[in-house]
């Protein structure tokens, strides 16, 4: 089976992907789901519905398939065309529209493919898209490159928690010096934001509990210490359990939204502009 690109009439991102494929002589069949490709898309969608992301504004186009893999959204499709599965993790389907591209995760891909990842960002930037880049502190070397090349229009760093809990929260070994460097780098972007999710953490005794207000305050304090400022744009938000949550997380009651007020007060000791993220 060859390459198929499902598009929709009037989709600028679809045109950008088509231009990318045409420029590189990548053969494909285009199927416009509002025109001649309607029936084919219906069949494809019915068969692959669980693999297709639907955001608040519906299905994100373009959708690419080559018989083995499906990729959706401008970033993920370009990345796959550029480097196959090597860039998996760096991109997810975004939810922003118009000139913005999100779903770009500096920390979630394999740093061995940093140059291929950066090449995708350069391409998107060169076609006048604005890039929203997410990081949790890992892969700080790539974040530095993004900063130096001016590739991001907005950088959001999820500062997972205080130093001592960082690895436990992410569920993997973390070089905290990388996290510290990413905090310092993030504060140098023209537009940026720090954010902490009040997430569940497995404690040394095996118990699972949410980050405490004191731990979020320590996180805000780490940002203050590294950036030298109490006035950073900093948001805290509720943890949203994914479908893949393990049994221990399922046993944990969801945190009520009003509980965040106490966290905000605690964090404001170190970051005076701390706000609750309701998005």
Measured distance CA(15)–CA(19) in Å, rounded: 6
64 binds another protein (CB under 8 A): no
Q: 225 with 213: CB under 8 angstroms? A: no
One of 19, 22, 42, 177 touching another protein (CB under 8 A): 42
12 burial via Cβ count (<10 Å: 0-12, 13-18, 19+): middle
> What is the CB-side half-sphere exposure of residue 266 using CA atoms within 13 A?
17
Instruction: Report the nearest approach of another protein to the CB of residue 276 (Å).
Output: 27
57 binds another protein (CB under 8 A): yes
25 burial via Cβ count (<10 Å: 0-12, 13-18, 19+): exposed
Enumerate residues 120-139 that contact another protein by CB under 8 A. none
Of 9 and 177, which CB lies nearer to another protein in the complex structure? 9
Could you give the angle at the alpha carbon of 115 between the alpha carbons of 193 and 169, nearest 5°? 45
8 binds another protein (CB under 8 A): yes
96 binds another protein (CB under 8 A): no
Stretch in the footprint of another protein (CB under 8 A) among 19-27, 30-38, 114-122, 220-228: 30-38
19 burial via Cβ count (<10 Å: 0-12, 13-18, 19+): exposed
Instruction: Report the nearest approach of another protein to the CB of residue 263 (Å).
Output: 33
Instruction: Report the nearest approach of another protein to the CB of residue 10 (Å).
Output: 11
50 binds another protein (CB under 8 A): no
Residues in the chain: 279
59 binds another protein (CB under 8 A): yes
Query: Where along the sequence are the contacts to another protein (CB under 8 A)?
Result: 8, 33-34, 38-39, 41-42, 45-46, 49, 54, 56-59, 61
């Amino acid at each position: 089976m060859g390459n198929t690109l499902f598009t929709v009439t009037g989709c600028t991102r679809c045109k950008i992907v088509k231009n990318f494929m045409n420029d590189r002589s990548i053969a494909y069949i285009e199927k416009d789901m509002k025109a001649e490709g309607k029936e084919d898309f219906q069949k494809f969608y019915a068969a692959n519905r669980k693999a297709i992301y639907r955001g608040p504004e519906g299905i994100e186009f373009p959708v690419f398939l080559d018989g083995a893999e499906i990729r959706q959204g401008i970033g993920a499709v370009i990345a796959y065309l550029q480097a196959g599965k090597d860039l998996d993790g760096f991109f997810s389907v975004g939810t922003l529209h118009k000139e913005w591209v999100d779903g770009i995760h500096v920390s979630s891909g394999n740093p061995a493919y940093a140059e291929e990842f950066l090449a995708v960002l350069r391409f998107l930037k060169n076609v006048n898209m604005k890039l929203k880049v997410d990081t949790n502190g890992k892969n700080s070397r790539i974040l530095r490159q993004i900063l130096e090349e001016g590739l991001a229009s907005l950088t959001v760093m999820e500062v997972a928690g205080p130093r001592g809990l960082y690895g436990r929260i992410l569920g993997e070994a973390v070089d905290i010096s990388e996290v510290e460097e990413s905090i310092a780098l993030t504060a140098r972007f023209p537009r940026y934001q720090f954010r902490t999710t009040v997430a569940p953490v497995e404690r040394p005794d095996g118990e699972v509990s949410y980050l405490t207000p004191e731990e979020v305050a320590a996180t805000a304090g780490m940002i203050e210490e590294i950036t030298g400022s109490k006035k950073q744009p900093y948001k805290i938000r509720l943890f949203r359990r994914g479908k893949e949550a393990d049994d221990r997380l399922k046993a944990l009651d969801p945190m009520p939204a009003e509980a965040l007020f106490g966290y905000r007060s605690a964090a404001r000791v170190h970051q005076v502009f701390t706000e609750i993220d309701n998005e």
